[in-house]
Amino acid sequence: MRSFLLLGFSCALLLTAGHAWAEDRPPEWAYPVNPPGFKLPPDDGKPRQVPDSPVQYSVAQTRDRFFAPDWHPADHRPMPAVVATGRKPDVFACGFCHRADGPGGPENASLAGLSADYIEQQMADFKNGLRKTSVPERGPSQIMIALAKAATDQEVSAAAEYFAALKPRATIRVVETDTVPKTYVAGWFLADAKTGEREPIGNHIIVIPEDLAQFESRDARSRFIAYVPIGSIQKGKELVAKGVGGGGTQCAGCHGPGLAGVGGIPAIAGRSPSYAVRQLHDFKSGARAGSGSELMKPVVEKMTLEDMVALAGYAASLPPDGVSASK
């Protein structure tokens, strides 16, 4: 076990502050940062396998940013070159981080099913400096900004059209709880430390892979548990229906029935709740000032962190296609 990493970002550190975090301060649990000296586990030389796949990849292949491991090629149409292998030296394979059919992970965005126009606009915002992050040292955001500047319009268009044509899948199980497993940062995301210890959840969302080895092998079928405070789902449902403060903008008015998206307005149902909190906070802080910010800013300015947690937890509990969202 990589117990040395526990020193870097244990949830004990996250939770000692309790409710004392200032509302304008990025919540550390939503913006995990690799601790100083972070290193991936050494390569043991053994090929990796994942459930329900006959494919084998070496550890080096699963860590190669110019290669998207394709464990289940029948799940999607052929990847364009920019998604499968990228372009050296500056354009990493989109499928490396976002996975072969676009579900992403807690550390980045789920792209499957987002409109091509929306994806292209986000890349333009990254490129033009309009979309940043409240925690500049986070690696995923640094990569996206650099990649957006290096990618050609044709590469962006090819990736956007590919991911837009994919159907999003439910990958997150939302669990309301008072306590969560002790965690550590495993590479810009949190993982269960497997010590058996539990900690109070406080006003946090803790997202961990159900199978860490499967997720680290970049299997697009990986699933996650999102722990949220008790009562979050109902409170989030009420906020979506009534707006913040009971009289604000209703989320479905822009994001559509079941929060499944409308045209260029992205779907927010069934997606990583920690990612959602980062976006809400970035809109509020002004770090995300690109497309849509003029609509989001007045909404998020009224939100507390507790509101963000509830909204993100509820949205994550919905099916990503909006079906049966009202049940």
| pLDDT tens-place values along the chain, 327 residues long | 443 333 334 444 344 334 434 567 899 999 999 999 999 999 999 999 999 999 999 999 999 999 999 999 999 999 999 999 999 999 999 999 999 999 999 999 999 999 999 999 999 999 999 999 999 999 999 999 999 999 999 999 999 999 999 999 999 999 999 999 999 999 999 999 999 999 999 999 999 999 999 999 999 999 999 999 999 999 999 999 998 877 778 898 899 999 999 988 999 999 999 999 999 999 999 999 998 899 999 999 999 999 999 999 999 999 998 765 443
pLDDT for the residue 19: 40
Domain 59-164's class? mainly alpha
Residue 49: how many CA atoms within 13 Å on its side-chain side?
5
> What pLDDT does residue 2 have?
44
Cα of 135 vs its chain's centroid, Å: 15
Helix segments in the chain, DSSP class H: 6-9, 11-16, 59-62, 81-84, 94-98, 116-127, 139-150, 153-164, 212-216, 232-242, 251-255, 273-285, 293-300, 305-317
**CA–CA dist 227, 108 (Å, integer):** 18
The sign one gets for the Cα dihedral 281, 287, 289, 294 is: positive
Contact status, residue 137 vs residue 143, Cβ threshold 8 Å? no
Q: Strand, coil or helix: what is 312?
A: helix
| CATH number belonging to domain 3-21+169-317 | 1.10.760.10
Ranges in the chain annotated CATH 1.10.760.10: 3-21+169-317, 59-164
pLDDT of residue 323: 63
**Any idea how long the chain is?**
327
